[in-house]
Structure 1
Amino acid sequence: MVQSLMGQVQTSKLEIQRRDHEIAFKQAAIDKLTHEMAVLKRLKFAAKSEAFTAEQKSLLDETIDADLAALERELEQIAPAKTAPHDKQQPKRQVLPANLPRREIHHEPLSATCACGCRLERIGEDVSEKLDYQPGVFTVERHVRGKWVCARCETLIQAPVAPHIIDKGIPTAGLLAQVLVAKYLDHLPLYRQEAIFGRAGLAIPRSTLGAWVGQCGVQLQPLVDALKREMLQARVLHADETSVAMLKPGNGKTHRAYLWSYCTTAYSALRAVVFDFAEGRGGQHARAFLGLTGEHGWCGTLVCDDFSGYKACFELGVTEAGCLAHARRKFHELWANHGSPVGEQALKFFGELYDIERDVAALAAEERKRIRQERSRKVADALHQWLTAQRQKVPEGSATARAIDYSLKRWQALTRYIDDGDLPADNNRVENQIRPIALGRSNWLFAGSLRAGQRAAAVMSLVNSARLNGHEPHAYLKDILERLPTQPASRIDELLPHRWQPAATS
């Protein structure tokens, strides 16, 4: 009996320790987020306007608004629900303009018969309005929820409020999708969208737009995490990175951050691209994304350029595959800039290799491998022999020597695709995914914070993956924003771009 009681006491102590640890962890997360919010509020309300140009100040403000909304959403998910004090005055929402077209959506019980058998009588209704947007046109959805009561047992029945990506918010999923696609795919900052919406009849403040973007970013992150997990199951991936200026609000200056891009190959059944925003270009960012810092990291083949940041990955079990296009580009520069005979002859060799690639592009992996070994290997061996001979004829340090050395030093990685039908010959696929970022840079000017950069990377991952799978990005984003609030976490994979099926319309 005593031993049993002692066992119960010990179990209770362990449970108390576990709960204390959980509470301490949550409190630390709450303190961290609260501190971050305080810093952002100080930047927004206490920063001197002369520290930035008018355009920079506008971009910084919209980033802070989005970050604050994202932090508030994260705090809601961590902290226990609290009931608002009855005496606290709730802010009043601005009434939507009466001149906007309205479309009524009625929500009524499926049956007008009460559980007791009596017929229900309609005694009233609740009406809520949400702002919708079709390119160039605002409309208002009027959600009318009738109230029905049984006169005999006084049972009140009313259709529940439909869950929404922003609880009690006025924007529909269509309007939120428009804001996200315009910002992260069409590269329109929120201050420009404010002006565009103004011409359509309702100038939504950029602070409001920023809050919507921040809350959507938090809600969409689990979907991006699921997309990344599935992509890391692929045996072959492309990787590349490009610079993006990131603002340091404390001194009004920017420093160079990087947007890393990872995607599946054209030969993969999975069509996906995932962007990862990081403060630097160090190889630790690539290793962290690929999970190489843990025990069970990704160990496939990475198609990339000669950037040194990837080198440590190859020492941790990842196989390197070079980019034939990068090697060819060196010789094209020789020929285009100087009319180099060496560059011209090298281009002919590369041309033969790419002719073979066009012939095998639509074939199965095994057949592609067989033809490459039969045809490409001969061309590659001839090219290697020719490059080795030419290297003896050119002086050290010349542009020709550098072009030849680039290929010879990476020859094994450059020709690895010949013996693997699942490997592409170059890294052009991921470069095409990252190329639009150059247009974005000229419109964003900079990322307002690390959190803003990570949010941009997440949304761009979804909309660009949707395009890879042949979906219209706005239609895809609108649909998943409508379905996310009721989608079970265990079935989140159904909303991924490569599995997505539009919801059936009644």
Structure 2
Amino acid sequence: MEADLPNDVEALRALVLEQARELDALKVFQAEVERLKAIIEALQRHRFGRRSEQLDPDQFELALEEVETALAQAQHAVDKASRASADRPRKANRGSLPPHLERIEQVVDVEDKACPCCGGALHQIGEDVAERLDVVPTTFRVLVTRRPRYGCRSCEGAIVQAPAPARIVEGGIPTEALIAQVLVAKYADHLPLYRQAQIYARQGIQLDRSTLADWVGRAAWYLRPLRDQILERLRRSERLFADETTAPVLDPGRGRTKTGQLWAYARDDRPWGSEDPPMVAYVYAADRKGERAEAHLGDFAGILQVDGFGGYAALARRRQQVSLAFCWAHVRRKFYELAESSPVAAEVLRRIAMLYAIEDEVRGSSAKQRRAVRAERARVIVDDLHIYLAARLRQVSAKSKLADAIRYALTRWAGLTLFLDDGRVELDSNTVERSVRPLALNRKNALFAGSDEGGDNWAVIATVIENCKISGINPHAWLTETLTKLAHGHPANKVGELMPWTAVA
């Protein structure tokens, strides 16, 4: 080390000054790293903190990825300044790469295999192997189908040729796999068709957005019977979740958009040990009238778990075979907004948290066990909370937000307490709210549907893709196989064989 130091005093002074500048730069970079880590911690508190403090999920993810990108850049600068990047272990996702991926091997070998000491021949005593994830940009290929024609030399009266394979787009250029890719990109990855057309153009494939839209519409026509079959199965269930979200639709007559509705109906009985597959169906409607849910549900008889929308209450009044179970998460949300300034709201939240703690313990147990535990431990909490709310309502201003929150709970008490008497009922309707979230993401990216018919196409394709997701299967693989079978004339009375959950091994 001493041999590397210069002997000249000025050179030594210059070396010291350079190292001092590097040290100052290192301190600046380290301070930036700490600042960015503090921002990430603050964002994490927004994710897991009180609901009133939480960011919109999309805003959170966008903000977090930008801060993490900046953190990586700053950390890299620290590594370079400290010359320690090779020694510092990286905090990264180092999980093993899936075995089904193609392996392309490259050997990095020494040029001279003679021993540097004695000149003898070297022999291999081991090797280091490193795997890195690589990508080949979307690769298009052209499938060429040849159908030879045959004639008879004897009679020359017959020409024989195999029939052309059936297609979703007759006479068109897309394979079913390409149509599936367009559907998944639009409805699962929330990538509008015009952006997909731009991506294809970079590969030299010129496709109009209207052409892609034609493919989507044809696929929706084939898939609609599957959505209708799923909805019919849901109608035969004993308990359902229901929710709705807005779906802006272009209204050409007025030159602006109108507000349609996408209604979601879901079933997931896994929390109480049922082996019935979870499923969800979406239906588009031009408005939010309560009659829409009644028409969608048909002759459904059972428990409908919902939020506080009055249309469901009207449905239950008209249909005696429908019982409403209300959502404790919506009750909790009302009090979250007031907890900072109201001890009453904070106390209500504490008691609701006790109910959720019990639910965490019994999740996965049988309906009978859940009911028994709830009767023993949750009922007393609920009864005491009712007394507490009724007493506080008499003490606060009738026009206050706290009074509104209390009345919201008390007026729905029968539906909120239904879970105590039925182990199949959940504490909230988060199951269906999770199914509505992808619709909201697509709405933000696509802005609006072009027509009421487009809204229903949206509902149809979103239905099959979301059922793939909750069944844990690849939607692209399933859509490719299913569209191929439908194009080849799969019987309409056997669409049940095509359902996503039937593909689960």
Same fold (TM over 0.5): yes
**Residues 28-63 of structure 1, C-alpha deviations (whole Å, 9 max, x = no match):** xxxxxxxxxxxxxxxxxxxxxxxxxxxxxxxxxxxx
Partners of 2:325 and 2:314 in 1: CA distance: 14
Aligned-residue CA RMSD (Å):
1.9
> What is the letter of the counterpart of residue 187 of structure 1?
H
Asked whether 1:377 is paired with 2:384, we answer no
Aligned with 2:192 (options 176, 189, 192)? 189
> Does the 8 Å CA contact 1:246/1:447 hold for their aligned counterparts?
yes
Correspondence for 2:301: 299
Aligned with 2:147 (options 145, 148, 161)? 145
Post-superposition shift, 1:438? Answer: 2.5
Matches within 5 A, 1:26-425: 136-147=138-149, 158-267=161-270, 269-291=276-298, 297-315=299-317, 316-317=319-320, 318-335=322-339, 338-425=340-427
- Unaligned runs of 5+ residues in structure 2 are 1-135
> Does the 8 Å CA contact 1:138/1:201 hold for their aligned counterparts?
no
Correspondence for 1:53: none
> Does the 8 Å CA contact 2:183/2:461 hold for their aligned counterparts?
yes
Partners of 1:352 and 1:150 in 2: CA distance: 84
Post-superposition shift, 1:151? Answer: 6.3
Post-superposition shift, 1:416? Answer: 0.2
Partners of 2:254 and 2:292 in 1: CA distance: 26
Post-superposition shift, 1:158? Answer: 4.0
Partners of 2:242 and 2:504 in 1: CA distance: 28
> What is the letter of the counterpart of residue 357 of structure 1?
E
Post-superposition shift, 1:243? Answer: 1.2
**Residues 372-406 of structure 1, C-alpha deviations (whole Å, 9 max, x = no match):** 11111121112112222222221211111111111
Partners of 2:404 and 2:353 in 1: CA distance: 20
Post-superposition shift, 1:137? Answer: 1.5
Q: The residue matched to 1:194 in structure 2 has which SS?
A: helix
**Residues 64-99 of structure 1, C-alpha deviations (whole Å, 9 max, x = no match):** xxxxxxxxxxxxxxxxxxxxxxxxxxxxxxxxxxxx
> Does the 8 Å CA contact 2:237/2:300 hold for their aligned counterparts?
no
Correspondence for 1:74: none
Q: The residue matched to 1:202 in structure 2 has which SS?
A: coil
TM-score by length of 1: 0.68
Correspondence for 2:497: 494
Partners of 1:441 and 1:456 in 2: CA distance: 10
> Does the 8 Å CA contact 1:275/1:461 hold for their aligned counterparts?
yes
Shift in CA distance, 185/135, structure 1 to aligned 2, threshold 3 Å: farther
Q: The residue matched to 1:436 in structure 2 has which SS?
A: helix
> Does the 8 Å CA contact 1:265/1:424 hold for their aligned counterparts?
no
Correspondence for 1:35: none
Q: The residue matched to 1:386 in structure 2 has which SS?
A: helix
Bigger shift: residues 264-273 or 277-286 = 264-273
Partners of 2:235 and 2:155 in 1: CA distance: 58
> What is the letter of the counterpart of residue 276 of structure 1?
V
Post-superposition shift, 1:153? Answer: 7.8
Post-superposition shift, 1:144? Answer: 2.6
Q: The residue matched to 1:385 in structure 2 has which SS?
A: helix
> What is the letter of the counterpart of residue 413 of structure 2?
W
> What is the letter of the counterpart of residue 486 of structure 2?
L
Partners of 2:292 and 2:278 in 1: CA distance: 23
> What is the letter of the counterpart of residue 458 of structure 1?
V
Partners of 1:273 and 1:158 in 2: CA distance: 44
> Does the 8 Å CA contact 1:301/1:320 hold for their aligned counterparts?
yes
Q: The residue matched to 2:503 in structure 1 has which SS?
A: coil
> What is the letter of the counterpart of residue 372 of structure 2?
R
Partners of 2:137 and 2:228 in 1: CA distance: 30
Shift in CA distance, 368/449, structure 1 to aligned 2, threshold 3 Å: same
Correspondence for 1:435: 437
Partners of 2:189 and 2:350 in 1: CA distance: 39
Correspondence for 1:454: 456
Post-superposition shift, 1:149? Answer: 6.1
**Residues 305-355 of structure 1, C-alpha deviations (whole Å, 9 max, x = no match):** 1111112210212111000111111111111xx332111111111111001
> What is the letter of the counterpart of residue 328 of structure 2?
L
Shift in CA distance, 346/143, structure 1 to aligned 2, threshold 3 Å: same
> What is the letter of the counterpart of residue 459 of structure 1?
I
**Residues 153-195 of structure 1, C-alpha deviations (whole Å, 9 max, x = no match):** 8776543322122222221011001111112222222211110
Correspondence for 2:467: 465
Percent of aligned positions that are identical: 41
For this pair of structures, how many residues does the alignment match? Answer: 362
Bigger shift: residues 152-161 or 136-145 = 152-161
Q: The residue matched to 1:433 in structure 2 has which SS?
A: helix
Partners of 2:309 and 2:301 in 1: CA distance: 19
Partners of 1:224 and 1:135 in 2: CA distance: 33
Partners of 1:160 and 1:205 in 2: CA distance: 30
> What is the letter of the counterpart of residue 319 of structure 1?
S
Partners of 1:342 and 1:443 in 2: CA distance: 40
Q: The residue matched to 2:472 in structure 1 has which SS?
A: coil
Partners of 1:135 and 1:230 in 2: CA distance: 40
> Does the 8 Å CA contact 1:231/1:270 hold for their aligned counterparts?
no
Partners of 1:501 and 1:163 in 2: CA distance: 27
Asked whether 1:480 is paired with 2:482, we answer yes
Partners of 2:265 and 2:351 in 1: CA distance: 29
